[in-house]
Amino acid sequence: MILMRFKRHTGSGGQMASGLKAAGGEEVGKSVDCGACVRRTDSAGSETAALPARFKETFHLHAVDPAAYSPLALAYIGDAVYEVMVRTLVVNQGNMKVSEMHRHDADLVKAGAQARMVRLLEPDLTEEEETVYKRGRNAKSASAAKNASVIDYRTATGFEALVGYLYLMERLDRLAELVGLGLERIGEFDRE
């Protein structure tokens, strides 16, 4: 029997409960259904955030193999995930006019900014992450770049594929680490 570490909110004052939980024969790296805020141990033995069990139950989600998805499918979900991350950052900066929020958001999600960010992140990518990024970058898309060069557009597609891959793999800590590092390197946190 495989045991996995977990942490979850107890509901009282935001405290966390932790311990080991039987994974019912699941291999290390799979999520364990242990409450609203799931932590799991990945195949390297590192603890990482996973999608909440309630989220999976409500939407009837099943386990997926992100490696089996096309790079453009990964970019499709990655685009949305990155957008939510950026909007969360923008809203967290305080109440302001929605038009100002949109302007700030658009500056960070446009292809040029994503391309710049992933180029600065490339030395920090694992071999697996670099492979996913390059698959996305080299994918042939039916849509064309509207307000970016073809090179920036394809590079941004690679970044979005990587974001989608990490999200579907439930490597949320790594996703947050890379996006945070990228935003820092393009000077986003210097604006405050």
162 contact partners, CB below 8 Å, separation of at least 6: 74, 78, 118, 125, 129, 132, 133, 136, 178
The yes-or-no answer on residue 152 being catalytic is no
Q: What is the pLDDT of residues 28-81, one digit of tens each?
A: 344 444 444 455 555 556 555 667 788 888 888 888 899 899 999 999 999 999
Per-residue confidence band for 22, with pLDDT thresholds at 50, 70 and 90: very low
Q: What is the pLDDT of residues 108-153, one digit of tens each?
A: 999 999 999 999 999 999 999 999 999 999 998 877 778 889 899 9
Integer angstrom CA distances of residue 110 from 15, 22, 42, 53, 149: 38, 44, 32, 32, 11
Is residue 11 over pLDDT 50?
Answer: no
Q: What is the pLDDT of residues 82-96, one digit of tens each?
A: 999 999 999 988 888
0.85 surpassed by pTM:
no
Q: Which of 79, 107, 124, 152 is catalytic?
A: 79
Are residues 159 and 130 in contact, defined by beta-carbon separation less than 8 angstroms?
no
Are residues 169 and 99 in contact, defined by beta-carbon separation less than 8 angstroms?
no
Alpha helix stretches (DSSP H) within the chain: 53-58, 71-92, 98-109, 111-121, 127-138, 150-168, 172-185
C-alpha 173/C-alpha 1 separation (Å) is 26
Placement of tokens 């405290």 in the chain = 15
What the chain holds in terms of domains, given with CATH numbers, is 3-58 (no CATH), 66-190 (1.10.1520.10)
